[in-house]
Amino acid sequence: MNVQIITSSYPAYPEDPSGTAGLFVRSFALELRDQGHKVIVQPVGRKPSYEPDEGLVIDPLPWDGGDQELASLKFFSIRNLRIIFNFFRLARKKVIEDHQKYQIDRTLCMWAVPSGLLGCWMKKELNKPYDVWALGSDIWRIKKIPFFGKWFLKKIIGHADRVFADGLELCRSVEEITGRPCGFLPSSRVLPKPREIEDGRYGAGRLHMVFVGRYHVNKGPDLLLEALLKLREPYRKRLLVHMYGLGPLKESLESFIDEHGLRDIVEFNGAIDAQNLADVFRKVGYLIIPSRIESIPVVFSDALQSGVPVISTPVGDLKSLIEKHGCGILAEDVSADGIVHAIERACDEGHAAFALKAKQLAREFEVGQVVKKWVDL
C-alpha cells in the first residue's frame, strides 16, 4: 500500500528535539515502512532540509515562514497573510501532484490544521479518501475562534473518510463538534536504548524527577516551579528536578529560578533529543506533568516504555489513565499546592510499585500496535 502523510510536524533529522509530535510522525512512518508499505511524507517545509530515512520519501510542502508554525503567525500582518496565502496555494498543488505521482492508496492528515484542509482539497479534486488525526492543541486552538472555528473544524473533519484523535476526551470533543465518530489512536514513539553513561547530576541520595515539554502556560512549568518553592525543607533536600524544553516562558522561568534561589533543586535545560531522554529516564524516579490542559502527551508514553511512573495534574485522559492503571500519582487539583502534595507523596512512597504498572500499561501505546490498528481499519 502507498501511504501519503501530510503533516505540520516532522523532525529535520532523527535526533531533532524541537517537537515530540514530529518525532511521533517519524516513528509512525518508519513503522509503516517496516510493515511493508511505501510511505511519502509531506511536512510543512519549516526546516532548511530534512534528513531522509532509508525507505521513506520526504517531499516538503513550500513554506516561506521560516521555523514559525502556521498557527503562530499573526493574521493582521500583510507579510504573514502573503506567507499563508502562498503556502495554501502551492501546498494544495503539491499534495495533489504527489498523490497522483506516487499512486497513493491512503492519505493520512496529521493534524486537522493545516493538513486536514489540504486533504479536503485533495479529495475534492481527485475524489480520493483521506483520514484526519487530530491533536488536542489543534482542536482547542481552532474551536476558540469566534463564529468561524467550530464551523471550520466541522468542514475539514466532516469531509474526511475517517477521524482519529490521540486522547479519549479529545475523541469525545471531536464528536461533539463535528458529529462524526472519532477513533482513539495514542501517539507514541520508540525511544532508543539507554546508554550506560555515568552522570554526576544523578547522584544517589536524592529522588530525581524530570519535566519534558514546552515552556508554555498550558504545560504548567510555572506551576511546577511555584510548587517547588513551597516544598517543605525535608523534602527539598531529597529532591532534584531536571527540566527540558523550549517555548515562550523560557526566560521568565529561568528568572524565577534565580530570583527564588531554586538552583539547588532545579536543573533548567533547553530541548532534549530522544537518545538523551532515554538516558535520563534510566536515572529518574518520576516524570512530572503539571499541565493546565492536556490530552495524552507523547512524553507520557515515553515514560511508560521506560518504566518511569508519572506525577500529573488531574487533566484530560491522564486522570483516568493513572487512576485506572496505577502508573503514578495524581495531584489533587491543577495548582501549585496540589503538585506539592503529590511530590511529597512520591518522596514518601518511592517509585518501584508504580514503575511496574507503568511498564504494563506501555504495551497499549506501542507504535507498532497503533500502526497496525490504523492499517487494518
- DSSP conformation letters of 52-96: PPTTEEE-PBP--STT--GGGS-TT-HHHHHHHHHHHHHHHHHHH
Residues 6+ apart with CB under 8 A from 285: 207, 208, 209, 308, 309, 346, 350, 351
Give 3-state DSSP helix, strand, coil % of the chain, rounded to 5.
50, 15, 35
Cell numbers for 261: 534561589
pLDDT above 90 covers what percent of the chain?
72
**Mean pLDDT, the chain, whole residue set:** 92
d(CA 161, CA 112): 13
Reading phi first (left if > 0) and then psi (alpha if -120 to 50, else beta), residue 247 is in: left
d(CA 68, CA 51): 19
pLDDT of amino acid 213:
94
For range 185-197, the mean pLDDT:
87
pLDDT of amino acid 20:
76
For range 229-253, the mean pLDDT:
95
- Residue 61 above 90 pLDDT? yes
pLDDT above 70 covers what percent of the chain?
99
- H-helix or E-strand containing 221? helix 221-230
The DSSP bridge pattern shows strands 207-212 and 183-184 to be unpaired
pLDDT of amino acid 208:
96
For range 203-215, the mean pLDDT:
91
For range 27-55, the mean pLDDT:
94
Instruction: Judge contact between 297 and 188, C-beta under 8 A.
Output: no
Give ∠ CA 339-341-345 in degrees, rounded to 5: 115
Q: In terms of pTM, does the model score above 0.75? A: yes
- Residue 138 above 80 pLDDT? no
Q: Taking the C-alpha atoms of 160, 164, 170 and 172 in order, what is their torsion angle to the nearest 10 degrees?
A: 70
Picking from 103, 299, 48, 109, the residue whose alpha carbon sits closest to that of residue 189 is 299
Question: What is the CATH code for 2-185?
Answer: 3.40.50.2000
Confidence of residue 79 (pLDDT cuts 50, 70, 90): confident
- The phi and psi torsions of 304 (rounded to 5 degrees) equal -60, -50
Confidence of residue 14 (pLDDT cuts 50, 70, 90): confident
pLDDT tens sequence across 84-122: 899 999 999 999 999 999 999 999 999 998 999 999 999
Confidence of residue 187 (pLDDT cuts 50, 70, 90): confident
The domain over range 200-364 is classified in CATH as 3.40.50.2000: yes
User: Any idea where the domains of the chain sit in the sequence?
Assistant: 2-185, 200-364
Give ∠ CA 183-110-154 in degrees, rounded to 5: 65
The DSSP bridge pattern shows strands 310-312 and 328-330 to be parallel
Confidence of residue 204 (pLDDT cuts 50, 70, 90): confident
pLDDT of amino acid 337:
97
Cell numbers for 147: 463564529
Q: Do domains 2-185 and 200-364 have the same CATH topology?
A: yes
What residues pair up with 4 in beta bridges, in sequence order? 40, 107
d(CA 285, CA 298): 18
- Buried b / exposed e along 12-48 (16+ C-beta atoms within 10 A): beeebbebbbbbbbbbbbbbbbeeebbbbbbbbbbbe
